Amino acid sequence: MTTSQHGFLGGLPPAHRDRLTAFAQEVEISAGARIFEEGGAADRFWIIRSGGAALDVHVPGRPPPVVETLGEGDLLGWSWLFEPYRWHLGAQARGRLRADEFDASRVRAACGQDPAFGLAVTGAVAAVIARRLKATRTRLLDLYGPPGGGAGGGDG
């Protein structure tokens, strides 16, 4: 499995990884539970150990559309690192979710005290954001929509 190297923690040098995980507290969230809501205070974040989470957007009058799903090793939540520390999206557990939960204010404080640690954490979070931004842009292209798609598409 590739999880350990390529999850969020894989993006941190070992020393900083250990330091961060020291803040972790293992939690279990029951299937379908709302983890956070759009606009709520981003005071925590999670690294998923097993199960998954769906990020969604509140649209009045219809069920919140899911814009992305996260799975094992993924960082759940990055709004805690940037002011105003409010969630951009909502999140819901898909199936039973086990995760390491972090207290955002404590991590931020540690980052403030130790710039090297802070830089590493910020960099790892930024890498996650960059990946998601890239993925989002790719999806914006609606590549699978007509026209296009593999050798089977060419047409006169």
Interface with another protein by CB under 8 A: which residues? 1-3, 6-7, 52, 54, 62-63, 65-69, 71-74, 94, 134-135, 138-139, 141-156
- How far is the CA of 97 from the CAs of 1, 34, 70, 117, 144, in angstroms? 19, 11, 11, 28, 31
Shortest gap between Cβ of 35 and another protein (angstroms)? 16
Using the minimum distance from each CB to another protein, give the nearer residue, 27 or 67: 67
Element (H, E) at 36: strand 34-36
Closer residue to another protein, CB minimum distance, 108 or 132: 132
CB of residue 134 vs another protein: minimum separation in angstroms? 7
Which of 66/110 has CB closer to another protein?
66
Six token digits for residue 121: 């954490």
| Encoded tokens for 28 | 């279990």
Residues 6+ apart with CB under 8 A from 54: 66, 68, 69, 70, 91, 92, 94
At its nearest, how many Å lie between another protein and the CB of residue 31?
A: 11
If the CB atoms of residues 22 and 143 are measured against another protein, the closer one turns out to be: 143
